[in-house]
Structure 1
Amino acid sequence: MAVQSWREMLRGLSSDCEFSPPTTEYQLESSERELGAGLPDDLRSLLSETNGVTAEYGVALIWPIERILNDNMAFRSNPEFRELYMPFEPLLFFADAGNGDQFGFSVLAGCVRRTDVFTWNHEDDSRTWVAPTLARYLEGWLSGQINL
């Protein structure tokens, strides 16, 4: 984020946002190694300011790095999911909609090469584009323009 901090941007969108202490560089690097993919620059920078963001009713707008790592590894290694869904390695989940659907970035050859945010629908296994950037996802989700 170039102009302002993530916290300032989010406070401008909602007075309900709650922030955590920042993620350490060590946590980011170790999670990236375990995931086998680097985090997108915007997500890295947000996590460096706050290790996750929650909004009204405790809804997680951005998961803490520990949950990003744990949920992605669980989705990728669950043997039942391999029979039910397309592979999860091409996605890097960072939040959920509270209904089973997940938000994530596209991973290609071990890299997040696009800033676009997608949603994975847990009922039909579809992956749908929802925003061109992390900032636009946050704006859309908090304003209700993105709804699932």
Structure 2
Amino acid sequence: MWRELILEMYPEADLSDPADEVTLAEVEKHLMLPLPFELASLLRETDGVTNEYGDAVVWSARRLVEDNLAMRGEPDYLELYAPFDEMIFFGDSDMGPQFAYVHTDYGPGIVVWDHESDRRRLVVVSLRDYLARCFIQGNAWFR
């Protein structure tokens, strides 16, 4: 489902081989948070999505662990930013913002995080909407 949807929206997307269940369990173990269902489902079909410019629209399972743990443990980040412990960063763009799942009162949502201001703004509530915004609408995250 995800592979077809992505390629329908953006034929130039680069899709990786799927992540296996052991890898996904390791992500949850290391991040100490459950992966949102739709993100886990996408990773089971493709372990990361890159656009034609090399931007990691959806990170690989390995990068999910590495980048999230690095952000949570970076001493400067601990001083400069609000905690990231309840967030799962999973994608970025060439414009600087990074995207993360957060849990809201009505379920998981996706926020855009601006590293310059530490602003975290809910932008979409589904991975499908996130991908459409990345691939169809271009990088319209701050409009």
1 or 2, which has the higher strand percentage? 2
1:84 to 75, 80, 92: 80
Match of 2:110 in 1: 117
3-state SS of the aligned residue for 2:101?
Answer: strand
TM-score normalised by structure 2 residue count: 0.92
TM-score normalised by structure 1 residue count: 0.89
Distance 1:107 1:36, change over 3 A: farther
Distance 1:145 1:70, change over 3 A: closer
Structure 2 CA distance, aligned partners of 1:114 and 1:96?
A: 22
Distance 1:63 1:73, change over 3 A: same
Structure 1 CA distance, aligned partners of 2:99 and 2:65?
A: 14
Aligned length: 140
Q: Which runs of 5+ in 1 are unaligned?
A: none
Q: Which runs of 5+ in 2 are unaligned?
A: none
Structure 2 CA distance, aligned partners of 1:104 and 1:137?
A: 11
Equivalent residues of 1:89, 1:107 under 8 A apart: no
Deviations 1:9-45 (A, max 9, x none): 0111011111111001000001100100010000000
